[in-house]
Structure 1
Amino acid sequence: MAFVETSKRNLVRQAWLTAFVAVLFCLAATALQAAETKSLKGVALIIGQSKYEHIAALPNPANDARDVAKMLTDLGFDARNVTDRDAAKLKRDLERFVEDAEGADVAFIYYSGHGIEAGGENYLVPVDADISSLEDADAALVPISAVMDALKKTVPVTIVLLDACRTNPFPADAMVRRAPTASASPIGAGGLGPVRGAKALGNTPATDASLGTVVGFAAEPGRPALDGAAGENSPYAAALLRHLAAMKGTEFGSVMRMVTEEVYLDTKAKQRPWVNESLRRLLYFGIAPPEPTGDDGLITGERRQLLLTISDLPDPKRAQVELASLQEGVPLDALYGVLKALGTEKIPEDPTDLQKVLDAQAERLKKMMSERAALRTDDPEIKRLVASADKAIGQGAIVTARKFLDDAVGRVEQTSDVVDEAEGLVKQKRLADAAIYARRADASALVFDYKSAAGDYAKAFSLAEKWDDKLRWNYKSQEAEALNASGNATGDLDALQHSIEAYRVILNFIPNGEQNRDWAITRNNVAVVLQTIGERETETAHLEEAAQIFRDSLVVFERVKDDINWAAAQGNLGNVLLTIGERQSDPKRLNEAVTAMRAALEKRPRDKVPLDWASSQMILGIVLYALSEREPAGEHLAQAEAAYRLALEEYTREKTPVEWGMVENNLGNTLVTLGIQLNDKAKIDEAADAFRAALKVRTRETFPVAWATTRLNLGNALSGVARFDMGTDALEEAASAYGDALTVFTRQRFPKDWASAQNNLGSIYQTLGQRTRDVAMLDQSAASFRAARQVYVRRKFPLDWAASQYSLGNTLRLLGGVTDKPEYYGEAIAAFRDALREYKRETNPRQWALTQAGLGSTLHWLSMSNADPKTLLESIAARRAALEVLTIEAAPVDWANAQNGIGMSLLNLGNLQRTDKYLSDAEAAFTAALKVFTRESQPMQWAFEQNNLGDIHWNRASYGGGKAEYRKAIEFFESAKQGFTEAGYTMPIPLTDKKIDLAKKQMAKK
């Protein structure tokens, strides 16, 4: 025989066949193959067990064994085929095979029949086995571990392929004993198992002579395999027969990956083989039976590349493709072929974008399949090419299908000058030729060459325009869709404008400009293109035009009772209003978007379209969350949370993992905001759990953009948690999460997300700098906010710009305190006043109030530098304005902070004016703050309030209050000291001790 092995430098792999490592192995082999090729000897034993005497017979194993034996013989193996063996004969066959294999380079066993696993041992089931065989399994059945151990001692490479993962042929509760006196073990549920004890089968240490072992199972652990139609081959055997022939030029591991994905596609994702590999060299088989030639050869070649591409796709993407295939009723093979044509490096990482691609291409596949019967031609060559193209698409060989259709179009163009003999023949020919152009356009679109597709649809339109009204409509519509897709994919605004022009041609087909259902559908499509254009512009004119068209469409759909298109138009309207509303301070458009999404839900009942219903609930949650950001207390946050939780009743991790992860992420955002507003740590902890759950699906390897988004959001949750803990652990973990996000969100590729991450990172450095009084941290914070403003310019992103100004003001205020440089306070005041140019009480009440509070705080600290009573009065006025919006019910922490600030300013104002007339109001403000800052929930803030109340009584004592006031001051200072100690915040304690000592001395003098 002749097959080839190539050295592999101490690389050992034991993994699922989908591992990316296999690709690296193949690359390594390419460099070594020529130098290290040599002739090797291979022996094979092929076993097929069909005619069971006492348990369920199997129709196909004998066929499988016969066909696999022929194939291995053609590959150069010394192959022996045995069928229907009882226990004695089967054991003798295996013993003889071990003897014959000594001196060979490769030993290959293929077994098709019943097999079971029990107690960590795998057993082949002889045809004479019955229930009594289980009482003495080592004697009556055939354990395979000993055979493998014996082969590994004398043969460098052992390959065992077990097509025996069929359902258990014995009673479900039957037990197995290795010997009559041994303990009993249950039978594994899914046939043979990949483990023996605690070690993976075939993973025992190799001897010096062994280059490793490959053990292949027809199905994954715990899953039964299919037997196939009677008289044919099992799916596993059929895949082996189709692809082992490729070993003349492809490494064995890659061939087995092809086999795995062939079974997966052939069984429509019901079965997927499993391989345990521990080879230390790559295998290349040099002699092979004849490969398919002609059209079939081209299809098979691309099919094999498709299978290798599928094997590298992560499970979440597979789940999306499988769900799209099932929902849209299109072949799984063809959808995977579409993704391969796109190129793995261009497959969208964001699950929403991937879903759009799958939906669009599934729709094209459905159209191609539905129009197949209508495609008629008298040209036998064109018939052959079209039939081959259909076969190629069914096999996922989309590029090959397009080649066949290129040849068909070439044939059309060669014969186009002989079609004018009669009008009837001309019509038939033109329509047939148009169909060929349209067919090629479909194939071009499936490989994402939308520009070529649009050209071919335009040619098909020109051929059919004068002959068939329905076809001219369809071809022009498909041209418009392809132009829209081209503009979407490339950012080509000309393509989008040409798409609109094509739709307007269609509108001219409608008699007398009647505003009927076709008119509404076509205009709706125009609006979708206008929305795409508008999303890329800073102005909203195109978005407003799209919104009006959607409204016009709704009138028609309602009149003709078309609920499906009516609900789709409402959803489109809600999306475009959300896009407009997010750019505006006025929440009017967001309110309209909520109304539109709720209306869409009325036409999408959960019992009839559960996934559409869940999708609408999710989008409704997004709109409600956006609306809550325009409210003083986020009244719509609870409704957003409810909408997300409803969506999760249909979007489960098992059924729709990608959508489930998306909703968990959105739910987490809502819970963070709720937790911060309500001072509810449990909500924020729940949010962090939601983000961590989402990250189980939204992994960096699979969905890097979604991963970065959720890491960013997890950082926000951890920042919220840090409010309740004076340490720095949560803050440092949050900073790490933001840093992770920035490895994906670069300014060049994702400027808006990059700016958002910079803002959040600035907030973390701000809090760390505040707690540690670290000037460098605060400088980093200011730098991050200023970086964000490079993207968040006021004209394009007014609210984001205002948010950056507000945050920068807070950092500059802290820098003024840490450095004792009042110029920072002036810069902070300017930043807050800039933010108030966009934050208005009428449209952004909560942000306006928080900015007023920040301005008041800064004015307070500035007054400490310039000793100006006027500045303190301005501070008090700003904070009192904030309290008109920040209530204890809606925003308890912010309300309490404002109360504390008012108390501090009143206290200082009295000191500057040397009067006690402000002390009662200041005391009332500090006491009010204690309604929120309790010792249990906020120990550090509680301690500061105790300290402030101590200052009140100290001042009263200074104005003649006597020993009683000093005594009360000492009590409050000692409470404050204890609170600071409990909170782990030791910095103020020396000053508190000094106040206690001074108060005691003053009291002693009275």
Structure 2
Amino acid sequence: MAFVETTKRNLLRQAWLTAFVAALLCLAATALAGAETKSLKGVALIIGQSKYEHIAALPNPANDARDMAKMLTDLGFDARSVTDRDATKLKRDLERFTEDAEGADVAFIYYSGHGIEAGGENYLVPVDADVSSLRDADAALVPISAIMDALKKTVPVTIVLLDACRTNPFPQDAVVRRAPTASASPIGAGGLEPVRGARALGNAPAADASLGTVVGFAAEPGRPALDGAAGENSPYASALLRHLAAMKGTEFGSVMRMVTEEVYLDTKARQRPWVNESLRRLLYFGVAPAEPTGDDGLITGERRQLLLTISDLPDPKRAQVELASLQEGVPLDALYGVLKALGTEKMPEDPSDLQKVLDAQAERLKKMMSERAALRTDDPEIKRLVASADKAIRQGAIVTARKFLDDAVGRVEQTNDAVDEAEDLVKQKRLADAAIYARRADASGLVFDYKSAAGDYAKAFSLAEKWDDKLRWNYKNQEAEALNAYGYATGDLDALQRSIDAYRTILNFIPNGEQNRDWAITRNNMAVVLQTIGERETETARLEEAAQIFRASLVVFEREKDDLNWAAAQNNLANVLLKIGERESDPKRLNEAVVAMRATLEKRPREKVPLDWAASQNNLGLALYALSEREAAGEHLTQAEAAYRLALEEYTREKAPVEWAMVENNLGNTLVSLGIQLNDKAKINEAADAFRAALEVRTRETFPVSWATSRLNLGNALSGVARFDMGTGALEEAATAYDDALTVFTRQRFPMDWASAQNNLGSIYQTLGQRTRDAAKLEQSAAAFQAARQVYVRRKFPQDWAMSHYNLGNTLQLLGGVTDKPEHYGEAIAAYRDALREYKRETNPRQWALAQAGLGSTLHWLSMSNADPKTLLESIAARRAALEVLTVDAAPVDWANAQNGIGMSLLNLGNLERTDKYLGDAEAAFTATLKVFTRESLPMQWALAQNNLGDIHWNRGSYGGGKAEYQKAIEFFENAKQGFTEAGYTIPIPLTDQKIDLVKKQIAKK
């Protein structure tokens, strides 16, 4: 709940700032059009309370007050600073300030010291306060509301910034009374020593003369604020001192956003200030103090733009950046600077893609920081530029850092010809120059200019190749990585091939072709590039080559006892096997992927690397789920479910919301498959809940691709729910979910996802057409399946190709019945037989059995139009074949449907041959279905079974069974009628009534 509340407050704050800026721009335009803008008169009171007499002293408020007073004076305020005031003096100071403020345009109060909250009132704590002060708080302490009310009456604009200590300086069980006879209230809870902060003030209505108020808090309401090191400023005061100087016509809201994000970065995301305001006009604060110049000025300028960019980032992205900074040990400022350099319009929306960017750039930042000491040069100008670049990177000013390094490289190139006097000098110069090129390459990588980075690493390699074996290895390796990153981002296959060539060059550096640890690492990295190329090709040769290299690397890492690299290579092997296996009919590779994932988990213990362990559990779940789709009973589905649930023990919504949503989504897919297989409505409902939970994080605005994926999966769950309800509500909701997904998954950008959504939409239209007997819906279904087949071609995607034929066969079978056009049955039979070209009993037993059952059903209906006993016998044979795989325990609904179909074909065969010899087998088949088709769980199917048993007894009566058989027939038909009514399926009820009337007439004749 705390996470949700924090997110809500931040969104409200951002919404206010947006509206505030719009209003300011409007007023500024009006003012400039009418006359020259008039500067406002401002008065300020700065209070610093450090030397408390009876409660804990605070070292920093006096420093904060002194520095803030100078800053506000420089901004043009008539500023007065007071420190260490007792209750009498502090109240007198505030009364005097209220009087002096009359006639001013802006009144500004800054308070640093102890503060408490009780009974809805915030109190400033004088330095002479003790426990007895709490018994008469309005007299012994200083209520803030009275000050605010007084200033609102006389000053158009009031600004109050509270840097008040939230550590309760009084005993824990102490209570506050506004007056000796007033009721008692507990002191509001705050953070632990040495934290500071304050609660929000109430929003009293402003007086008519007031143009609004701003109340700023050092931290969000109820959250702690850090105190800072003794003898320095608090983080809040430091940010104010740094950025209030930016108000050279800059609107106040933007400045306070800078302050907010400066504190957020300075405290490594532990503290974030908060503003409660009601301003209604633009503020000018006179002439600002001198800004930083030179290198510091450039850094500060980009830093401020970074702070404004951060303030607009949604919380899920902030959480991802914060977690990456913490896990990789790189500065939060620099990581945000990298994203700003990329540009918000190019920032990946999908969390997995954003994670790849963060991981790659965090690794680059770590390398730059670790190699800082290796940068040695005698040129003082280059030293200055490199130092400024380092400072800029730490401040998140990545573009400015690159400019400094551009200048450093320029300096290098100017002095190249002056270093050839001696061999030793040449060596030192070449290595120093190579380091500068490499440094600029690092900076290029941070702004995602991988192509330039690769060129600079290549130049650094050429300079160092002759002089230093270790550096030539490093620079060539970095060139290979940059080429891979560029090729992956742009799809440039030439760059990917040049990356492989660079790795092969590195392999030549290994003496005598020794297959050592360096050899294995280099080949492992090369195989990652091969996998990237292979995933974009229709053939699997590159993927196979990558798998072979990963296996060879594992041998070396096993020999070297390098568990970390062994686990990474094993994970890579599992992923490439999964990619190959998904394209093949034979599940062999999927089984190998599962084994490889489990082996990875043995080297990633939960107690040492919990998040890596959770990631591997999720990957294991994916492999198990893919394998289950090739099994008769989906034996691995429950194992996949268990793996996802284990991953969720570490990937909690509070700790890792993006990863949590991803695993919830994957878990939902598994629960849908389990629910359908086991006829378990509760599991399908749980799956729908999982998708809806994931969508609370995967919003369309923040993560459009993930949102579309979860909307598509929610549609699958709703389609499963519809199996238990004969209405159309769940089906229509599912169709809406698929249509939503297709607004993101276009064929051009996401062909596989587009085809999947088309396939699923076809299934929904199929069920809707079946229930409403609407030929138009069935035509839509067929069109959707045919659209999916434009992507699902047999050579590239044999399993998906077969699935689309099977689904199309189901729709054409239904269309034949609704339109009474036998030609559709012939088309359906052809579609099923196409599916069976790929679905084999040995490799795809469940899909093979379902296709056999569908073929048998269509042959049955075709026989009804051509009255051909041979066709009925083929139908019975196909369904009996299906029952060799579809068992009542593993696939109860599919088993019961096949039994029902056999009974129908036997009944019709007897009618064609005018014999009762098939009635016993038919009755046994219909009776068997009642093990699954119960009145409580599946009333419509139960009613159909009752109807079919009624037909059995009617036929027996007609073949001489007498009145008793007719009476049984009527009982079954009455049961059927009640079942159809309960299921809401009214279409067959008139036919059932006709049957009952006909049987009664036959009884009357007897």
TM-score by length of 2: 0.96
* 1:444–1:453 Cα contact (<8 Å) kept: yes
Deviations 1:331-361 (A, max 9, x none): 1111111111111122222222222211111
Bigger mean CA offset, 118-127 vs 968-977? 118-127
Distance 1:545 1:20 in 2: 59
In structure 2, the residue matched to 1:632 is 632
Moved more, 244-253 or 230-239: 244-253
Task: Name the structure 2 match of 1:313.
Answer: 313
**3-state SS of paired residue (1:170):** coil
Does the 8 Å contact 2:198/2:219 carry over to 1?
no
Cα deviation per residue 1:336-392 (whole Å; 9 max; x = unaligned)?
111111111222222222222111111111111111112111100000000000000
Question: Quick one: distance in 2 between partners of 1:336 and 1:140?
Answer: 46
Once the two structures are TM-superposed, the CA of residue 579 in structure 1 deviates from its matched residue by: 0.7
Cα distance change of structure 1 residues 7 and 787 upon mapping to structure 2, 3 Å threshold: closer
Q: Match of 2:673? A: 673
Change over 3 Å in CA distance of 1:206–1:745 after alignment to 2: farther
Residue deviations 1:843-881 (CA, integer Å, cap 9, x gap)? 111111111111222222222222222222222222111
Contact 2:763 2:781 in 1 (8 A): yes
Change (3 A) 1:630 1:359: same
Paired positions, count:
1006
How far off is 1:9 after superposition? 24
SS of residue in 1 equivalent to 2:717: helix
Q: Distance in 2 between matches of 1:326 and 1:446?
A: 18
- The question of whether the paired residues in 1 share the 8 Å contact of 2:166 and 2:195 is answered with no
For the residues of structure 1 that align with 2:853 and 2:925, how far apart are their CA atoms? 15
Q: Compared with structure 1, are the counterparts of its residues 897 and 284 closer, same or farther at alpha carbon in structure 2 (3 Å cutoff)? A: farther
CA distance in 1, matches of 2:926, 2:20: 63
- Distance, in Å, in 2 between the alignment partners of 1:743 and 1:121 is 51
CA contact (8 A) 1:5 1:284 kept: no
Does the 8 Å contact 2:167/2:195 carry over to 1?
A: no
| Structure 1: runs of 5+ lacking an equivalent | none
Equivalence for 2:481: 481
- Distance in 2 separating the partners of 1:912 and 1:995: 19
Cα pair 2:328 2:362 within 8 Å, conserved: yes
Instruction: Tell me by how many angstroms 1:810 deviates.
Output: 1.4
Flag the 1:96–1:827 CA change in 2: closer, same or farther, 3 A: farther
Q: Is the 8 A contact 2:77 2:285 kept in 1?
A: no
Whether contact under 8 Å (2:200, 2:221) holds in the other structure is no
Deviations along 1:533-574, one digit per CA (max 9) or x if unpaired, are 011111111111101011111111111221111111110000
Three-state SS of the structure 1 residue aligned to 2:789 is helix
Say if 2:644 and 2:663, in contact at 8 Å, map to a contact too.
Answer: yes
Given that residues 64 and 234 in structure 1 are in contact (C-alpha distance below 8 angstroms), is that contact kept between their aligned partners in structure 2?
A: yes
Query: In the alignment, is the contact (CA less than 8 A) between 1:350 and 1:706 conserved in 2?
Result: yes
Partner deviation per Cα, 1:11-42 (whole Å, 9 max, x = no partner): 99785769998899799979978978333222
- Residue deviations 1:179-198 (CA, integer Å, cap 9, x gap): 22222222221279999999
The answer to whether the 8 Å contact 1:264/1:272 transfers is yes
Q: Is contact 2:664–2:693 with CA below 8 Å preserved after alignment? A: yes
Deviates more, 1:846-855 or 1:196-205: 196-205
CA distance 1:137–1:650, shift in 2 (3 Å)? same
Change (3 A) 1:92 1:37: same
Matched-pair contact (CA < 8 Å) for 2:214–2:279:
yes
Tell me if structure 1 keeps the 8 A contact 2:43–2:107: yes
Q: Residues 12, 455 of structure 1: CA spacing in aligned structure 2 closer, same or farther, 3 A cutoff?
A: closer
Give the deviation of 1:281 after TM superposition.
3.4
CA contact 1:5–1:38 (8 Å) conserved in 2: no
Shift of 1:78: 2.1
Q: Which residue of 1 is the match for residue 293 of structure 2?
A: 293
Q: Residues 148-207 of structure 1: CA distance to partner in whole angstroms, max 9, x if unpaired?
A: 233333433322211115322222222222222222222221279999999974644444
Identical positions, percent: 91
Aligned residues of 2:167 and 2:196 also touching (Cα < 8 A): no
Offset of 1:478 from its aligned partner? 0.5
**What is the TM-score normalised by the length of structure 1?**
0.96
After the TM superposition, which of the residue ranges 940-949 and 63-72 deviates more from structure 2?
63-72
Q: Give 1:8 shift.
A: 24
Distance 1:735 1:182, change over 3 A: farther
**Are the aligned partners of 1:574 and 1:597 in contact in 2 as well (CA < 8 Å)?**
yes
| Deviation readout 1:125-166 (Å, 9 max, x if unpaired) | 121211122222222222212322333334333222111153
| Alpha-carbon offset, residue 696 of structure 1 | 2.2
2:797 maps to which residue?
Answer: 797
Deviations 1:616-667 (A, max 9, x none): 1111110111111111111111111111111112211122221111111111
Structure 1 480/13 Cα, relative in aligned 2: closer, same or farther at 3 Å? closer
Separation in structure 2 between the aligned mates of residue 477 and residue 417 of structure 1, nearest angstrom: 28
Distance 1:818 1:660 in 2: 45
Alpha-carbon contact 1:582-1:590 (below 8 Å) kept: yes
Structure 2 runs not aligned, ≥5 long: none
State the alpha-carbon separation in 1 of the partners of residues 869 and 685 from structure 2: 43
Partners of 2:930 and 2:282 lie apart in 1 by: 73
Cα offset, 1:122, TM superposition: 1.5
1:813–1:824 Cα contact (<8 Å) kept: yes
Instruction: State the distance in 2 between where 1:781 and 1:197 align.
Output: 61
Distance 1:34 1:410 in 2: 50
Name the CA distance, whole Å, in 2 between partners of 1:75 and 1:1001. Answer: 105
Q: 1:661 to 1:8 in 2, by over 3 A?
A: closer
CA distance in 2, matches of 1:21, 1:755: 44
Q: Is the 8 A contact 2:40 2:284 kept in 1?
A: no
Relative distance call for 1:6 and 1:737 in structure 2 (3 A) is closer
Cα distance, 1:11–1:220 mapped onto 2, change above 3 Å: closer
1:755-811, Cα deviation, whole Å (9 max, x unpaired):
111211221222122222223322222222222222222222221122222212212
Q: Is the 8 A contact 1:165 1:218 kept in 2?
A: no
- Summarize the Cα distance change of 1:462–1:164 in structure 2 as closer, same or farther, 3 Å threshold: same
Deviation at residue 529 of structure 1 after TM alignment: 0.4
For residues 242 and 295 of structure 2, the distance between their equivalents in structure 1, rounded to whole angstroms, comes to 16
More off after superposition, 60-69 vs 78-87: 78-87
Partner of 1:616: 616
> Cα distance, 1:939 vs. partner?
1.1
Instruction: Out of 194-203 and 349-358, give the one that drifted further.
Output: 194-203
Could you tell me how far apart the structure 2 residues matched to 1:409 and 1:57 are? 53
Residue 286 and residue 581 in structure 1: after superposition, are their counterparts in 2 closer, same or farther (change >3 A)? farther
Distance 2:962 2:649 in 1: 67
Q: Aligned partners of 2:759, 2:807: CA distance in 1, in Å? A: 8
Q: Distance in 1 between matches of 2:712 and 2:256?
A: 40
Q: 1:735 maps to which residue?
A: 735
Moved more, 451-460 or 742-751: 742-751
**How many angstroms does 1:834 deviate by?**
1.9
> Structure 1 residue 890: deviation in Å?
0.8
Q: Does structure 2 conserve the Cα–Cα contact (< 8 Å) formed by 1:18 and 1:313?
A: no
- The match for 1:526 is 526
Secondary structure of 2:816's partner?
A: helix
Distance 1:710 1:33, change over 3 A: farther
Task: Name the CA shift for 1:34/1:456 in 2 (closer, same or farther; >3 Å).
Answer: farther
Identify which range, 943-952 or 318-327, moves more after superposition.
318-327
Contact kept, 8 Å, 1:44 with 1:109, in 2: the verdict is yes
- Whether the 8 Å contact between 2:23 and 2:280 is mirrored in structure 1 is no
Q: Is contact 1:325–1:335 with CA below 8 Å preserved after alignment? A: yes
Instruction: Tell me the SS of whatever aligns to 2:415.
Output: helix
2:73 maps to: 73
Deviates most, 995-1004 or 377-386: 995-1004
